[in-house]
Amino acid sequence: MTSPTLAERRLETYRRLLTISQTLTSTLDLLTLLEVIVNAARDLTDTEATSILLLDQKTGQLYFEAVTGSKSEEIRRVVVPPTSLAGWVARVGEVQIINDVQKDDRFYAQSDERTGFQTRSLIAVPMKVKERIIGVLEAINPVDGRTFDDDDVDVLTTLSAQAAIAIENARLFQQSDLISEMVHELRTPLTSIVAYSELLLRQAVEPEMAQEFIETIYQEALNLSNMTNAFLELSRLQSGRVRFQMAPVAIGELIEEIAALLRPQLDRLNLTFNVQLPDPPIRVIGDRERLRQVIVNLASNAIKYNRPNGSVLIKVTPPDAGQYVTLSVSDTGRGIPAKDLPHIFEKFYRVADSEGYAQGTGLGLNIVRQIVEAHGSHVEVDSEVDRGTTFRFTLKAAR
C-alpha cells in the first residue's frame, strides 16, 4: 500500500479541521471548549504537548488557561512575562517558530521547571477576534523529531481563528448566564427591602414593629451586599481574570492566622476549636490569599452550622509519599442531608435548616471548589445528619 501524497495528507487535515470546527460551535462550556482545542491542536500537529494562553484585556497579563499532559494543573493560570515568546506573539500578533528553544532568549523556561517537561521546539500562533488578540495557541515538540514548517503554521492559524471565536462566544454566554442567575437571586432581598420600607412609611406602624422592620431591612441589605461581593468574585474566577500566584506557603502559619481571626465567633458560640498540624512544619504550593479564602469559608461554615458547645477541627496530614498534603475542616453540626450532598457546590444552592430557612448566598462553596480545582485538586465532603460534616482537599507539598 502506497503512502499518502502531500496533497492527500493536506486534504485529510482540512477535513479534520472541518469536523473540529463543527465541534467547537456545538458547545458553550468554556472548559470543555478549551480541552477540545488543545487536544485538536496536538493531534493536528502531531506534537507532544499544546497549550492555550489567554490575555486579560484589563490587566494585559497573559496566562496559561489550558494545557495537555498529566502536569497541566501545575501551570494553569500561571502568568507569563511579556518578554516571553508567547508574550511577544500576543503583543506583535505574528506567528513564531523556534526549532531550538535554547537559542532564543524569549523562551520561558519556568514552565518546564514547574511541570518537569522538556521543551525542544515550539510554534506560537496568535488567537484573534476581529484583529483583537485574545491569546496564543502553542504546539510543542513534533513527535517524529522533525522541525515545524509552513503546513503547521497553516493548520494552527486556521484552528486558532476558529477557536478564538468559539472562546469569545462561550465567555459572553457564560457572563450573560451568570448575570441572569444573579438577577433572579437578587429579587428576594430587594423585594423584602422594598416591602418593609413601604410599611415603615405608613404612620400607623408601632415603634416596636418599626424596629423589627428596620432590623429586617438591615439584614436583607447585608445579604444583598454579601451576595454582590460573592457574585463579583465568582465572575472573576469564571472569566479567568483571577491570577494565581503559586509559591511555597507555610500552611501552619496560615491556619494559625485564620484561627485568631475566627476566635471571636468561636467564643461567642462557646465552640471548641482544634488545629492538628504536622511536626516539623510543612509548606505547600499554592496561592496564599486564595487558600486563606478557602479555609476561612469552610471554617466559617463549620462555625455557622454548628451546635452549641460543639467543636471545629482543622487538620493537616503529613505529605503522602512526600508529595501531597491533605487539609480537612470538620464540625459537629447538624450535618447535610443525603439528598443535598450532590448539589452543595452548585451556584446559589443552599441547604435549608430544620425550619425550612436557607442561609447564606449559595455561592461560597462554588467559589471554594473553583479555587481548589485551580490548585489541581478537588473538594470531597462527608456528612451525616446530627453528627457533623468534613470537607477535605489535597495540596502539593513544597520541596
Together in a domain, 268 and 368: yes
Which DSSP letter does residue 320 get? B
User: 201 in a domain, yes or no?
Assistant: no
User: 139 in a domain, yes or no?
Assistant: yes
Q: What is the end-to-end Cα distance of the chain in Å, rounded?
A: 53
Determine the structural domain holding residue 82 and report its residue range.
Answer: 6-171
pLDDT tens-digit readout, 263-314:
888 888 889 999 999 888 889 999 999 999 999 999 999 998 898 889 999 9
Together in a domain, 166 and 254: no
Q: Which helix (H) or strand (E) holds 138?
A: strand 132-142
Summary count for the chain: helices (H), strands (E): 9, 13
Using the 3D structure, point to which of 155, 171, 187 is the last residue of a domain. Answer: 171
User: 69 in a domain, yes or no?
Assistant: yes
pLDDT given at position 353: 61
**φ and ψ at 157, to 5 degrees?**
-65, -45
The SS3 of residue 124 is strand
What's the CA gap between 353 and 359, in Å, rounded? 8
What's the CA gap between 87 and 123, in Å, rounded? 13
User: 236 in a domain, yes or no?
Assistant: no
User: 184 in a domain, yes or no?
Assistant: no
Share of the chain above pLDDT 70, in %: 90
310: cell is 460543639
320: cell is 503522602
Higher-confidence position of 173 and 216: 216
User: 177 in a domain, yes or no?
Assistant: no
Using the 3D structure, point to which of 171, 187, 212 is the last residue of a domain. Answer: 171
315: cell is 487538620
Together in a domain, 276 and 385: yes
Together in a domain, 163 and 273: no
Together in a domain, 159 and 270: no
- CA 77 from chain center: how many Å? 9
The CATH number assigned to the domain holding 65 equals: 3.30.450.40
Using the 3D structure, point to which of 147, 171, 195 is the last residue of a domain. Answer: 171
Together in a domain, 49 and 135: yes
What's the CA gap between 73 and 279, in Å, rounded? 28
Together in a domain, 376 and 263: yes
User: 162 in a domain, yes or no?
Assistant: yes
Average model confidence (pLDDT) for the chain? 84
Q: Reply yes or no on whether the pLDDT at 227 is more than 90.
A: no
Together in a domain, 255 and 131: no
Q: Which of 53-62, 88-97, 111-120, 338-347 has the largest mean confidence?
A: 88-97
Go through 256-292 and write b for each residue having 16 or more CB atoms within 10 A of its CB, e for each that does not: eebbeebeeebeeeebebeeebeeeebbbbbbbebbb
Share of the chain above pLDDT 90, in %: 29
Closest of 159, 142, 128, 143 to residue 38, by C-alpha: 159
Q: In the predicted model, what is the mean pLDDT of residues 19-45?
A: 84
The CA-based angle 254-255-260, given to 5 degrees, is 100
pLDDT tens-digit readout, 330-361:
999 989 988 888 888 888 777 766 444 446 66
pLDDT tens-digit readout, 153-185:
988 998 998 888 888 888 877 766 667 667 777
Residue with cell 508529595: 323
Together in a domain, 156 and 267: no
Together in a domain, 249 and 151: no
Together in a domain, 167 and 249: no
Radius of gyration (C-alpha) of the chain in whole angstroms = 26
pLDDT tens-digit readout, 304-326:
889 888 999 999 998 776 688 99
Q: How many domains does the chain have?
A: 2
166: CB partners within 8 A, 6+ apart:
24, 25, 33, 37
Together in a domain, 260 and 156: no
The CATH number assigned to the domain holding 388 equals: 3.30.565.10
User: 204 in a domain, yes or no?
Assistant: no
Closest of 331, 316, 313 to residue 277, by C-alpha: 316
CB 174: neighbour CB atoms within 10 A?
17
